Structure 1
Amino acid sequence: MLAVRAYQRALTKRPLITQMCSAGILAGSGDVIAQLAVEKRKLKNYDLIRTGRFFVLGSCYVAPVLFRWFRILERIPGNPKVAPLVRLAVDQIAFAPCLLSGFLINLRILEGNSPKESFDHWKKEFKGYMLASWKVWPMVQLVNFYLVPLQYRILVVQTVALFWNTYIAYRTQKPPDEYYEPY
Structure 2
Amino acid sequence: MATMFAKLVSLAYSPRYLLTTNTATMCLIYGTGDVIVQLVDSHRQPPYTTNIDWKRVFRVGAIGMLHGPMNHFWYGFLDRAALRGSQRVIVAKKVASDLAASPAFAVAFVTGLTLLEGNSIREALLEYKQKFIQIFTLDACVWPPAQAINFWLVPPAFRVLFVSAVVLVYSGLFSAIRHDDHEPVLEVL
TM over 0.5: yes
Aligned-pair CA distance for 1:39: 3.0
Residues of 1 paired with 2:59 and 2:119: CA distance? 13
Residues of 1 paired with 2:128 and 2:24: CA distance? 27
Contact 1:101–1:126 (Cα < 8 Å) also in 2: no
Q: Which amino acid aligns with 1:171?
A: I
Q: Does 1:64 align with 2:69?
A: yes
Residues of 1 paired with 2:117 and 2:21: CA distance? 26
| Structure 2 unmatched runs, 5+ | none
Contact 1:39–1:170 (Cα < 8 Å) also in 2: no
Residues of 2 paired with 1:71 and 1:148: CA distance? 13
Counterparts of 1:25-174 in structure 2, within 5 Å, are 25-40=28-43, 42-43=49-50, 45-58=51-64, 60-76=65-81, 77-78=83-84, 79-93=86-100, 95-174=101-180
Q: Structure 1 66/143 Cα, relative in aligned 2: closer, same or farther at 3 Å?
A: same
Aligned-pair CA distance for 1:176: 4.3
Residues of 1 paired with 2:116 and 2:53: CA distance? 14
**TM-score (ref. length: structure 1):** 0.89
Residues of 1 paired with 2:35 and 2:141: CA distance? 23
Three-state SS of the structure 1 residue aligned to 2:87 is: coil
Aligned-pair CA distance for 1:106: 1.4
Aligned-pair CA distance for 1:4: 5.0
Three-state SS of the structure 1 residue aligned to 2:38 is: helix
Aligned-pair CA distance for 1:171: 2.3
Aligned Cα RMSD in Å?
1.8
Contact 2:134–2:177 (Cα < 8 Å) also in 1: no
Superposed structure 1 runs of 4+ greater than 4 Å apart: none
Q: Structure 1 127/4 Cα, relative in aligned 2: closer, same or farther at 3 Å?
A: farther
**Structure with higher helix content:** 1
Identity, in percent, stands at 27
Q: Structure 1 128/156 Cα, relative in aligned 2: closer, same or farther at 3 Å?
A: same
Contact 2:63–2:113 (Cα < 8 Å) also in 1: yes
Q: Which amino acid aligns with 1:158?
A: S
Q: Structure 1 4/137 Cα, relative in aligned 2: closer, same or farther at 3 Å?
A: farther
**TM-score (ref. length: structure 2):** 0.86
| Structure 1 unmatched runs, 5+ | none
Aligned length: 177
1:40-82 C-alpha deviation (Å, 9 max, x unpaired): 3634x32101000111101x11110010100110123323232
